[in-house]
Amino acid sequence: MSSVDRLVLDTSAYSHFRAGHPGVLDRMADAAVLVVPAVVLGELGAAFALGRRAQENRQALADFLDEPFVSILDVTTATATHYGRIFAALRRAGTPISLNDVWIAAGTLECGGRLLTFDTDYRRVPELDYLLLEAPSS
């Protein structure tokens, strides 16, 4: 396992982190900085609002975001430029992915990070540096 400077967490990676997935915990421990895209915060906020433990989940996220090695990745003009290029390329190839995933991929490219995910859709973004983990079998 090699260390990475910036490890970007998508929503699935954060959820598996909260569940104690050993692969996620190992990769997070090896990263210099953990990055959470603002889009992921929106997805998590929606999930928390729909769930039964909203306040507990919001507090756990707030505590996580307060850690000195965690940063939030905002959407910038550079992110929007990456988004447009990725969206158009995927649409031309006939392999679109969810719009939120395009934003997450765009932010990951912008910050020069490696995306940690359980979502196979990111395979469709050729220039993206990502690490795809598998969820434990039920």
pLDDT digits (tens, 9 = 90+) for 22-53: 999 999 999 999 999 999 999 999 999 999 99
Query: What is the Cβ-side half-sphere exposure of residue 99, based on CA atoms within 13 angstroms?
Result: 2
CATH number of 4-132: 3.40.50.1010
Residue 56: per-residue pLDDT: 97
- Both structure tokens of 24: 């996620």
- Please give the mean pLDDT across all residues of the chain: 95
Q: Minimal CA–CA distance to 127: which of 72, 108, 78?
A: 108
Q: Minimal CA–CA distance to 95: which of 68, 120, 129?
A: 120
Query: 55 exposed, middle or buried (CB, 10 Å; 0-12, 13-18, 19+)?
Result: exposed
pTM for the full predicted model? 0.94
What average pLDDT score do residues 59-86 get?
98
